Structure 1
């Protein structure tokens, strides 16, 4: 029994005082519960807030979950469920023939490890590997478009033939039957970027058959964002799929956000659900290799490295990054070297660059920043992470109050990470709900729990209701706040007092029970 609680149940219902009864991993009573000394465990909340466990709808713990029982930055901020398989570039399927190239392709995004297998035939294989780790958190996983394309077409940039489409549809169908939570793609990442719109339509029809969402990092988030939204509208119109936009943002002219919202409403008017997630920071984070034009990645990471090492090919790459108006998305130019930072590398002799912006890396190496970046990618075999500042507080707050939006971390876990890895959810509740009064605490809790669960189709958690799984966070609503900064990101948030996963305490003040082994793989069947 949890007693003396101020209950935020995740449904936006006004907070109320009461208790919660848990039997095994399930909530059996909420509200006015009988006092008794017969409970096996009694937790006195002391008037603090109790809410559902936070759900991270955009996680990059895909590799770390196979080597660690506890993802400390996540569980310490109250995240009890993570959704893996993001951006279309993840862990299954990975055919043996492409395993090493794929490992280097995603190393800057999801991390790297010598402790795991890099060959997974299916989502089920990956789920079983997670289960063997006996984690303390829950994990769902999307079926990644890039992996499916890899299994059928390798790193080809050619349009899929009808036969290849049938093979991709078959793999996706199997992964959804094995419990994948939806279909994800990242249309700036290799090999998703090579897909044509009709390829996405056909795959989304498979996702629609299972009522699973299409989770998309769209092709463009700056000058061509409205064209990108038109592509999503076409996909939704032709397939009927539920749409979830990853990390909603506008990186160009921020006044375009109002047209973006209008486009979202027009898609919803087609009769489908439209949702999105967001991290509450003015900088993003991804792999540095995403700055290299798509043509240079054709054939895989091995071919990319060959091109970076060839002086003529490198000049073509540099020209495309800085000059070519036909690029889908410009992510680097001379005006934002100072706003683009190296966040992670693998090799010890390159650690000195972590936390430095590209101007500084250029000065340290005596090279132009763009050449310094390409040399670093070449030396690190593409396994470089970055942080890039691109937006304003005003813009992210406008995103935040949109009814479609829930919170996520989108956190890369290596090196000197983005502070969102450690602070997203406490920052949202403490800074934006409490201090800025942008919304009520009830609304903020909803956007971190039930709203997120509904977007991902997680029906057994996300609210404090009878029959739901007992994922809970006890926090102090007066003190909850993030502490992590860009300068010192590896700091745990304040105000999180206790975290329970499936009825078992994992966090108690500053103590973490790493052997709790109470997490589960969530298969949507």
Structure 2
């Protein structure tokens, strides 16, 4: 968690890492997760600023107005290096475009791979994965790229996760299970969140039920006030 090959020197090495995981899976239970983007997101760190990859600033305490801009553009405007700009902007957060799309696809399509968002809701300019991860899997990796079937896509986001994390009564539609249900149109579901506009509401989702309670309807949750979620605690 999360499986990726970050940095140009590691691009393509998922062929090696996935083969190793498959070998280990013959001896013990193993799984992995991934998010469907080529950029990761974490704190603003100078060791991740190499002058090669794009770095998008998501927040900065000393310079909040710079959020949403590329570090290279900020450095150019300030007449300094990206490393110097990074230090001036700290503490802050950023999206790092470290991965290659072929590696992302290889990992997401793997039979042992689950889908996770790794979204950070406190960011002032969040990574689009916070809003768009799961619809993006349907739109890009199932409908467009055909990396797996619709049923496999759903399972990677629901039943497989519940099973691997040992969360009882979740992830499957069956009598006696908690009624966590998303009603969506397979032909139109899609993410709209981008790095520039990361809070875009996804399309094609008609209703969401949490613990059997309607919490989202018709593209706008403004009229639905129910808060039926609860903390899930794994037993010892």
Q: TM-score, normalised by structure 1?
A: 0.43
- SS of 1:262's partner is helix
Match of 2:110 among 402, 410, 421: 402
Q: 1:333 to 1:447 in 2, by over 3 A?
A: same
What pairs up with 1:359-508 in 2 under 5 angstroms?
A: 359-377=72-90, 382=91, 384-413=92-121, 414-508=123-217
Partners in 2 of 1:515 and 1:502 — Cα distance? 14
* Shift in Å, 1:345: 2.4
* Mapped pair 1:250 → 2:5: yes
Using the alignment, how far apart are the partners of 1:261 and 1:354 within structure 2?
Answer: 36
Deviation at 1:253?
Answer: 2.7
Kept after mapping to 2: 8 A contact 1:358/1:370:
no
Q: Determine the C-alpha separation between the residues in 2 that align with 1:258 and 1:474.
A: 35
TM-superposed deviation, 1:514: 5.5
Structure 1 residue 335 corresponds to structure 2 residue 52: yes
Whether 1:260 aligns to 2:12 is: no
Indicate the residue corresponding to 1:352 in structure 2.
Answer: 65
Residues 12 and 102 in structure 2, CA contact (< 8 A), matched pair in contact too: no
8 Å CA contact 1:411–1:421 kept in 2: the answer is: yes
The CA deviation at 1:491 is 0.5
Q: Distance in 1 between matches of 2:207 and 2:110?
A: 30
Indicate which of 41, 58, 62 corresponds to 1:285: 41
The CA deviation string for residues 227-285 of structure 1, in whole angstroms up to 9 with x for no partner, is xxxxxxxxxxxxxxxxxxx1210113323211101221232233x21111111111111
Counting helix residues as a fraction of each chain, which structure ranks higher?
1
3-state SS of 1:342 partner: strand
Question: Could you say what the CA RMSD is over the residues aligned between the two structures, in angstroms?
Answer: 1.6
Provide the C-alpha distance between the structure 1 equivalents of 2:155 and 2:220, rounded to a whole number of angstroms. 27
What is the rounded CA distance, in whole Å, between the counterparts of 2:96 and 2:2 in structure 1?
A: 14
Q: Which runs of 5+ in 1 are unaligned?
A: 1-245, 292-320, 322-330
User: SS in structure 2 opposite 1:364?
Assistant: helix
Unaligned runs of 5+ in 2: none
Asked if 2 retains the 8 angstrom alpha-carbon contact of 1:475 and 1:495, the reply is yes
> Deviation string for 1:63-120 (max 9, x for gaps)?
xxxxxxxxxxxxxxxxxxxxxxxxxxxxxxxxxxxxxxxxxxxxxxxxxxxxxxxxxx
Relative CO higher for 1 or 2, CA cutoff 8 Å, sep ≥ 6?
Answer: 1
Q: Give the 3-state SS of the residue equivalent to 2:13 in structure 1.
A: helix
State how far apart, in whole Å, the 2-side matches of 1:255 and 1:372 are.
30
After superposition, the C-alpha distances for 1:418-461 in whole angstroms (9 at most, x for unaligned) are: 11111110010122111222211011001111011112111211
Query: 2:29 maps to which residue?
Result: 273
Cα separation, 1, equivalents of 2:219 and 2:204: 10
Deviation at 1:334, TM superposition (A): 2.7
Separation of aligned partners in 2, 1:258 and 1:510: 39
Contact 2:32/2:114 (<8 A) preserved: yes
Secondary structure of 1:260's counterpart equals: helix
Q: How high is the TM-score relative to the length of structure 2?
A: 0.92
Displacement, 1:522? Answer: 1.2
